[in-house]
Structure 1
Amino acid sequence: MTNLAIAKRIIGPVQNYLGRYLDRTARVYAAEARRYAAGREFSADDLSWSPLKTTSARAVKRAIDIAGGLIGAAALVPTTIILAPVIRFFSPGPLLFFHVREGLNECPFKLPKFRTMNENMQVGGHDGPDKTQPLEWAQITGRRVTGAGRYMRALAIDELPQCVLLLNGKLTMMGPRALSKVDLDRHEDPRYNWREVRKKFTPALGPAAFCLSGAFSSREEIELMEIYYFGNWTLWLDIKLLGRGLLAIAAGRHY
């Protein structure tokens, strides 16, 4: 038996265990979120219902973002030196790939990633197929991803360049998922005034809905979980979500 086969036999059960834990605890968060949102109205003009809009919360979030951005930027330099020749060996072309995302107050910005696909097969101006349809997504991206790209995605290394956006305020550490306008417009008749409310919040490096659910969620669950996050933010909640996000990556739920 090869070392790779042995590693898979060890990692597989661990990922399954982590996945079951995430699913079990996600049901608790989902039930709590439904109770919170039931019968409430969420104004996008008066955000007094969200603790994220207090002066103290903004200061705490900004301090965390700057610290995370500095750590990420420090890690980015040696990672880039190592990955640059590897990425170009598997597929000649640029080192980075940019998605256009909708930011705070609908201002578009470019979201960088290390390129994991063949240059002539990159997804267009949005995320492509709906990631809530795992089979369709896997079939389409599986033909595009390079050999090195598979490992970068598995370890979430491809998203490391996004850390620099924590420094300029385009991203925050935890919050609503950074999506393109095309993807946002796919949410037909969103609940809880979600589409208007999320315009008032900075998109995040760590998507709150993904961390709460422990997996990519349906559109309806994204709306519910993000509204719950906006209305119930605490520093402790961000710490818990960071831990859940790391567990989801370890469980292979992030790609």
Structure 2
Amino acid sequence: MSLNTQLPAHRAARPDAAAQPDAGVITPSNGFARSAFGRPTTPRVNWHRPYILWLILLDLLAGLAASRTAIALLAEADAGFRDPAAPGGVAGVFVLVANLGLPVGWVLLLAACGAYDRRALGIGTEELKRVFRADIALAATVSLLALGFKKDLSRLTVLLVVVAALGYTLAGRFAARCVLRYLRRSGPHASQQTLLVGKLSDALALYEVATRNPGAGLRPIAIHLPMHPRPGERVSAPVPVYVGWELVPLVQEIGADTIAVCGPASLESYELRKLAWQLEGTGLDLVVVPQVTDVTGPRIHVRPVDGLPLLTVEEPTLSGLSLVAKAALDRMTALIGLLLLSPLLLGIALAIKLTDPGPVMFRQTRIGYQGKAFKVWKFRTMYTDAEQRLAELRDRNESDGLLFKMRDDPRVTPIGRHLRALSLDELPQLINVLLGQMSLVGPRPLPTEDDDYQGDVRRRLLVRPGITGLWQISGRSELTWDDAVRLDLHYVDNWSLAYDLGILWRTVSVVLARRGAY
């Protein structure tokens, strides 16, 4: 719900010394004095402490489970490490190392690879990359220790331990992420209380993104404008708006722990540097939204020249071996999916046929890769006269873009509503994927003419349309047309195989929750 917030008189100007809150912290203007024996700054963000303790416990159990799994499988296969003094079984020393040394060593390797860094926890793929690096380090460590102590440890033993440790750890971290996202969605727990600094439009843009994705852990609680509004201008925002305050005292006043600078024009470069100095020793986090938005991942590189950081943005990778691998993975997955899901597909087809006369399948012309038209396959979810009734419903369109959307569309059949809610009507599009017309992940194909794709929207056609994509996992039909286009263009600009796998993983939870489907 949006609130109209008129700037109060006592917030419209910088408060005097008497009005400044006494937080008990002296903030230096040019940095925080350091000592080799001084205590590190205690961060104000503290949700991560119990979370990391739970991760350590889960990782210890994962290491123990990996060793027990390897021992059990090796005992069945009659292979692995054997003590010459005990030819009939696994060595006692090996059991001790496997049950105690491996779990502790696994946690130490995860810590050394940064897998407990709070900035990488709970969202994105960086945490998973660090777990993979730790797993590679585990394989190298076990092999080197076996070589150094001249122990007859088979390659099968190392492989089983490494694979099992990775599998159990990823399963534990996935469960921990689910709990963390639940806590973040249910309230302010496990989130960073954030002050947004910048122009109102930039701050509201970040506010919308943060509130739409509570799992990211940023919870905006106030906005600070760098300049006073024009006389008589009303400021409308869903959170309190401040102007003229010193940022550090303001953060301490409202109970925030993070400052997010929104947009390039929010602060001058010297002001941003001074703010970073002022935050030293306070435990506050500083987040800066770069000028180059919607570009992430390996496309961005920082190259310092004489102390000046230059941000290099590479072209998106839309060709090469990665694209070939994507196409091969799409077709192989589509073939396997059609075979495994054939009983479900037949059941849905039979239900449609028995509940409503007419064809089971619905085929419609869509615009795909490089503007080529193709027929998309879907289970029919509307009555057979849906196209003829569309004209009389045009004035009830709830979409602001190229698509017609209506929450309670009378043309949808009763069984069609259930199929749409769970996206089961999209399953026949695996045929389009198998034919190379679509991909598993990509922008949604739209039922429009090629000429309708003008300006930035046409950039969606640089990749094959997908059954799922950023649009589906970020709100589906509840998104505005501009948001849908922005997400599709973000996918085109930042595509990677890892990105596709992450979207597929998140699609499962979105579909099961029935969020934004109608």
Q: Aligned pair 1:233/2:495, yes or no?
A: yes
One-letter amino acid of the counterpart of residue 148, structure 1: I
Q: Aligned pair 1:93/2:355, yes or no?
A: no
Any conservation in 2 of the 1:174–1:206 contact (CA below 8 Å)? yes
Partner of 2:366: helix, strand, or coil? strand
1:80 and 1:173, CA in 2 relative to 1: closer, same or farther beyond 3 A? Answer: closer
Any conservation in 2 of the 1:100–1:108 contact (CA below 8 Å)? yes
1:222 and 1:154, CA in 2 relative to 1: closer, same or farther beyond 3 A? Answer: closer
Any conservation in 1 of the 2:444–2:465 contact (CA below 8 Å)? yes
C-alpha distance in 2, partners of 1:27/1:225? 20
Any conservation in 1 of the 2:462–2:492 contact (CA below 8 Å)? no
Instruction: With the length of structure 1 as denominator, give the TM-score of the two structures.
Output: 0.71
One-letter amino acid of the counterpart of residue 386, structure 2: M
Unaligned runs of 5+ in 2: 1-181, 187-211, 219-262, 264-288, 296-313
One-letter amino acid of the counterpart of residue 254, structure 1: A
Partner of 1:118: helix, strand, or coil? coil
C-alpha distance in 2, partners of 1:155/1:164? 19
Partner of 1:36: 293
Q: Deviations over 1:102-137 (max 9, x none)?
A: 011211111111112221235789xx745469xx71
Partner of 2:315: 49
C-alpha deviation, 1:98, in angstroms: 1.4
C-alpha deviation, 1:18, in angstroms: 10
Partner of 1:117: helix, strand, or coil? coil
Any conservation in 2 of the 1:36–1:228 contact (CA below 8 Å)? no
One-letter amino acid of the counterpart of residue 383, structure 2: N
Deviating beyond 6 angstroms after TM superposition, the runs of 4 or more aligned structure 1 residues are: 31-34
One-letter amino acid of the counterpart of residue 137, structure 1: M
Any conservation in 2 of the 1:116–1:145 contact (CA below 8 Å)? yes
Residues paired across the two proteins, number? 216
C-alpha deviation, 1:208, in angstroms: 2.6
Q: Which has the higher contact order (CA 8 A, sep 6+)?
A: 1
C-alpha distance in 2, partners of 1:27/1:181? 38
C-alpha deviation, 1:93, in angstroms: 0.5
One-letter amino acid of the counterpart of residue 439, structure 2: T
User: Which of 194, 204, 214 lines up with 1:24 in the alignment?
Assistant: 214
Instruction: With the length of structure 2 as denominator, give the TM-score of the two structures.
Output: 0.37
Answer with 1 or 2: which has the greater Rg: 2
RMSD of the alignment, in Å?
A: 3.5
C-alpha distance in 2, partners of 1:237/1:174? 9
Any conservation in 1 of the 2:439–2:465 contact (CA below 8 Å)? yes
Listed as ranges, the matches of 1:106-185 within 5 Å are: 106-122=371-387, 129-131=397-399, 137-139=406-408, 141=409, 143-181=410-448, 185=452
One-letter amino acid of the counterpart of residue 293, structure 2: Y
**Percent of aligned pairs with the same residue?**
29
Unaligned runs of 5+ in 1: 1-16, 39-47
Partner of 2:476: 215
Q: Name the structure with the higher helix share.
A: 1
Q: Deviations over 1:40-78 (max 9, x none)?
A: xxxxxxxx711132x122122112201221122214532
C-alpha deviation, 1:165, in angstroms: 0.9
One-letter amino acid of the counterpart of residue 351, structure 2: V
